[in-house]
Chain A
Amino acid sequence: MLINEVFDQWLVVAVSLEGTSHQKRNSPCQDAHYWQLAGDRILVAGVADGAGSVTLSEVGSLLAVQTAVKGIASKIVESSLPDSDEAWSALLTSGLNDALLAIKTEAEVRQVNLRELSTTLLIAVATPNIVATIQIGDGAIVIADKNGVAKALTTPPIEESLDLVTFLTSANGIDSAQICLWEGKPAQLAMFSDGLQMLALQMPQGTAHAPFFAPLFRFVSETKDLDLAHQELTEFLRSPRVCDRTDDDLTLLLASLAS
Chain B
Amino acid sequence: MSLETIEFAENPEPRCPCVLLLDTSGSMSGERIAALNAGLLTFRDDLLQDNLASKRVEVAIVAFDTTVRVEHEFATAENFHPPILTAQEFTHTASGINKALDLLQERKRLYKDNGISYYRPWVFLITDGAPCGEDAYVLTQAAQRVKEEETNKRVAFFAVGVEGADIQALQGLSVRSPIKLKGLNFREMFVWLSASMQRVSHSKPDEMVPLAPVGWGAV
Q: Which residues of A contact B (CB under 8 A)?
A: 21, 49, 51-54, 115, 118, 138, 160-165, 167, 170, 194, 198-204, 209, 211-212, 215-216, 218-219, 222-223, 232-233, 235-236, 241, 244-245, 247-248
Whether B9 lies near A51 (C-beta < 8 A) is: no
Asked whether any CB of chain A lies closer than 8 Å to the CB of B136, the reply is: no
What mask results when residues 197 to 217 of chain B are scored 1 for a CB within 8 Å of chain A, else 0? 000101111111110000000
Task: Give me 4 other A-B pairs in contact (C-beta within 8 A), A52-B210, A167-B206, A247-B52 excluded.
Answer: A21-B203, A51-B205, A160-B120, A212-B9
Asked whether any CB of chain A lies closer than 8 Å to the CB of B158, the reply is: no
Whether B3 lies near A200 (C-beta < 8 A) is: no
Please list 9 pairs of residues, one from A and one from B, whose beta carbons are closer than 8 Å in the complex, sorted by A's number: A161-B117, A161-B154, A162-B14, A212-B9, A215-B2, A216-B6, A247-B202, A248-B202, A248-B203
Whether A204 lies near B117 (C-beta < 8 A) is: yes
Name the residue on B nearest A118 (C-beta). Answer: B206
- Supposing A161-B118, A162-B14, A162-B119 touch, asked if A244 and B51 sit within 8 A by C-beta, the answer is yes
What mask results when residues 1 to 25 of chain B are scored 1 for a CB within 8 Å of chain A, else 0? 1110111110100100000000000
Set of chain B residues within 8 Å of A198, measured between Cβ atoms: 9, 11, 14
Choice from A21, A115, A163, A199 contacting B8 with Cβ under 8 Å = A199
Q: How far is the CA of A212 from the CA of B204 in the complex (A)?
A: 24
Which of B119, B154, B200, B206 has the largest number of chain A CB atoms within 10 A?
A: B206
Q: How far is the CA of A50 from the CA of B7 in the complex (A)?
A: 27
- Supposing A198-B11, A202-B11, A203-B11 touch, asked if A216 and B202 sit within 8 A by C-beta, the answer is no
Set of chain A residues within 8 Å of B5, measured between Cβ atoms: 215
Choice from A138, A163, A244 contacting B200 with Cβ under 8 Å = A163
Q: How far is the CA of A203 from the CA of B121 in the complex (A)?
A: 20
Whether B203 lies near A52 (C-beta < 8 A) is: yes
Whether B206 lies near A53 (C-beta < 8 A) is: yes
- List 5 tightest A-B contacts by C-beta distance, closest first: A53-B205, A211-B7, A52-B203, A209-B9, A236-B3
